[in-house]
Structure 1
Amino acid sequence: MLLTLQCCGQDTDGLYRAMEKAIARSEGSWSGSSNSHSAGEKALAAQPKSGDWEIDRRLLKIGERIASGSCGDLYRGVYFGQDVAVKILRSEHLNDALEDEFAQEVAILREVQHRNIVRFIGACTKSPHLCIVTEYMPKGSLYDYLHKNHNVLKLSQLLRFAVDVCRGMEYLHQNNIIHRDLKTANLLMDTNNGVKVADFGVARFQNQGGVMTAETGTYRWMAPEVINHQPYDQKADVFSFAIVLWELVTAKVPYDTMTPLQAALGVRQGLRPDIPENAHPKLLDLMQRCWEADPSKRPSFSELKVELEVLIVEAQETSGAVNGN
C-alpha cells in the first residue's frame, strides 16, 4: 500500500490531510466500518405518518443505549406501546450546523414511505431536546449479520437482500434523494429478514442542477468521484451498492487489510475489492458494472432491480431442476 500512497504525487498530501480530518465524521458515526455495535444500529430513517409527527417527549420511554456517535446516542425505547429506536443529539454538541443537519434529516424522513425504508415515527424538534424516533429493527444490521455472526449467504438469500436494497434505493432516487452513506451497517433487518434502508443523517435532496461536490459517507464504500471532490449524483449510491453486494457475496469487510484512508486513496486510483471466486457470473458482472469509475456507465437501481429479480427466477429454476433430479 506504500506504493499506492507514494504514487499519488503531491496531490496526495492535501487529500491525505483532508481525509484524516474527515475520518471521524465518516467512519466514526453511529457505526464504524469495522466495529458496528448494536442490534438497532443506525436505525434512523424513514416514513411520514398522517397527523402530527412531533413527538411528546414525556410519552417517550427511553431504554438501553444501543449505539453511540460523535454528537449523539441511539437508544431503544417505547412510544405508545411500540418498540422504537431513538436518536438523541447531545445538547452540549449542538450548534447551527448540527441543527441544520438535523432539520434536513427530519425533512427527508417526513417525505419517504416505502416497505424497504425504515419507518419514521416522529421527532422532537424543540432545541435543545432534539431526537428522531423510528421503528425498532430487532434483527439489527446486515453488517452485524455478516461479520459478527459470520453468516455466509446462500445465493437465494443474497439475492433477496440485494433486491430489497434496490427497491428501497430506487424509491429514494425516484424521489430525488441521494442517500450518500449506503453500507451494510445502514441496512437493517426486520423479523422476516426483510432489509430496509436506514440512516438519513447525510442524505440530501438532489438539486435540480443534479450535482454535488461535498465529500460525505464512509470511505470503504465511497465512490471515487466523491473521494475526489468531483461533482456527483445518484450514481454515487450505485457504487456504494457494488461494495455492499461484494460484502454479501464474500461475508468480508471491504479492504480489511487497509485503513479507511488507504482504501480511499486506492479507490481513487482504480482499486476495487478482489473479484470473489465461485460467485454467480451474472452477479459478478453486475457488481463490476456498478463500481465503474465512470458514473455514467453504472446502471440505475431500477435496472439493477430488474436484473436481480430475473436472477432470482433463474436461480429458483436451477434449484428446482437439481432437486427434481
Structure 2
Amino acid sequence: MEHSPVIEESALKALQIPTDGTDVWEIDVKQLKFGDKVASGTYGDLYRGSYCSQDVAIKVLKPERINKEMQREFAQEVYIMSSCGAFLLSEFMTGGSVYDFLHKQRGVFKLPALLRVAIDISKGMNYMHQNNIIHRDLKTANLLIDEHEVVKVADFGVARVKSQSGVMTAETGTYRWMAPEVIEHKPYDHKADVFSFAIVLWELLTGKVPYEYLTPLQAAVGVVQKGLRPTIPKSTHPKLKELLERCWQQDPSERPDFSEILENLRHIAKEVHH
C-alpha cells in the first residue's frame, strides 16, 4: 500500500519550508538516504528512506511517464501538502492503514479507541477544511496508523483547493464512500468529506466493507436514488448514532462541519470515560 503524505503541523518548521509566501523551496539532498523500494506504480516508485534521521517515504516519478497533466497533478499535490503543513517526503507510517487493520488483520475498535480514532480523523479533516482544502477521497484505506497508534489523514493525490472546486467528476474518490452530490456530478463543497467520514465511522463500528453485497456502481445508484445507507448496529452509543446519521444526510447543508463533529466526539468520549 502506498504511504502518502500526512498532515503534520510541525513539518513546515522541520523541513524549513519558507513561510514568506514563496512556493519555491528545496530539501538538502545530502541529508536524504534511500532504503528499500516498498511500492511500484505506472508513474513512479515509492521508497522507504530517512531525512535528517526522520523515517520518510520518498516518491520518485518516472521521467518517461511524466506528461503535462502529471506535472500539474504533482504540483497541486505539493502545494496542498505544503499549505497544510505536511511532510513533502512524508512520514513513513509503520502501522499500515485502518482498512488493512479492519479487513486484513480482522482488528476491532472498542468504543474508547474508536472515539480516539474518530477524533484524530476529525482533527486532520478540520485542519484541511480550515485551509480551504477538500480531500475528496476520505476512506479507511487513506487513514494511516503511526507507531504511536495515532491515525492520520493521508493521500492528497485527489485533494483540491476549495476555490478551484467547481463541478468535480465522480471518477474521483471511491463510490462506496462517496457523497450523493459527488456521484451525481453536482457542484459540491467540504460537506462531501463529511458524508465520507460517516461511512468511515460506520466501518469503524462494524469492521465491514460498506454495501459489501453490492457492486460499487449498485451502491452508488442506491445512495443517490433510494437514500441507501449501511445499517447502524443496535448496540451503537445513541449520541454516536445520532452524529453518524447527521453526517450522511442526503442534503449537504444538513451535515455538520468538522469543528462541530470534533466537539460532539469529545463530548461522547468524556461520557464514555466517566
Matched residue type, 1:105? E
Matched residue type, 1:214? T
Unaligned runs of 5+ in 2: 19-24
Q: Of residues 57, 61, 65 in structure 1, which corresponds to 2:33?
A: 61
Matched residue type, 2:96? G
Question: 2:47 — aligned with what?
Answer: 75
- Structure 1 residue 175: Cα displacement: 1.0
Matched residue type, 2:229? R
Q: Of residues 97, 102, 105 in structure 1, which corresponds to 2:74?
A: 102
Verify the 8 A CA contact 1:223 1:239 in the aligned structure 2: yes
Q: Take 1:93 and 1:261, find their aligned partners in 2: how far apart are those partners? A: 30
Q: Take 2:29 and 2:167, find their aligned partners in 1: how far apart are those partners? A: 36
Specify the SS of the correspondent of 2:12.
coil
Q: Take 1:202 and 1:109, find their aligned partners in 2: how far apart are those partners? A: 12
- Tell me, yes or no, if structure 1 residue 303 matches structure 2 residue 260: yes
Q: Take 2:195 and 2:46, find their aligned partners in 1: how far apart are those partners? A: 28
Q: Deviations over 1:270-300 (max 9, x none)?
A: 2211222311121111111111110000010
Q: Take 1:161 and 1:303, find their aligned partners in 2: how far apart are those partners? A: 16
Question: 1:13 — aligned with what?
Answer: none
Specify the SS of the correspondent of 1:230.
coil
Which shifted more, 290-299 or 279-288?
279-288
Which shifted more, 270-279 or 235-244?
270-279
The aligned runs of 1:146-295 (5 Å cut-off) are 146-207=102-163, 211-215=166-170, 216-269=172-225, 270-295=227-252
Q: Deviations over 1:164-223 (max 9, x none)?
A: 111111111111111111111111112221111111111111118x75433311111111
Which shifted more, 298-307 or 45-54?
45-54
Specify the SS of the correspondent of 2:163.
coil
Q: Take 1:105 and 1:277, find their aligned partners in 2: how far apart are those partners? A: 41
Matched residue type, 1:78? S
Q: Give the TM-score, by structure 1 length.
A: 0.75
- Tell me, yes or no, if structure 1 residue 111 matches structure 2 residue 60: no
Q: CA-atom RMSD, angstroms?
A: 1.9
Matched residue type, 2:4? A
Q: Take 2:216 and 2:62, find their aligned partners in 1: how far apart are those partners? A: 27
Q: Give the TM-score, by structure 2 length.
A: 0.88
Matched residue type, 1:95? N
- Tell me, yes or no, if structure 1 residue 43 matches structure 2 residue 15: no
Q: Take 1:251 and 1:68, find their aligned partners in 2: how far apart are those partners? A: 29
With over 3 angstroms needed to count, the CA separation of the structure-2 counterparts of 1:67 and 1:184, relative to structure 1, is farther
- Tell me, yes or no, if structure 1 residue 137 matches structure 2 residue 93: yes
Q: Take 1:266 and 1:148, find their aligned partners in 2: how far apart are those partners? A: 27
Q: Take 1:282 and 1:68, find their aligned partners in 2: how far apart are those partners? A: 43
Unaligned runs of 5+ in 1: 1-36, 114-118, 123-132, 318-325
Q: Deviations over 1:1-41 (max 9, x none)?
A: xxxxxxxxxxxxxxxxxxxxxxxxxxxxxxxxxxxx3xxx3
Question: 1:87 — aligned with what?
Answer: 59
Q: Take 2:95 and 2:30, find their aligned partners in 1: how far apart are those partners? A: 28
Verify the 8 A CA contact 2:3 2:93 in the aligned structure 1: no
Specify the SS of the correspondent of 1:63.
strand
Which shifted more, 44-53 or 140-149?
44-53
Which shifted more, 298-307 or 276-285?
276-285
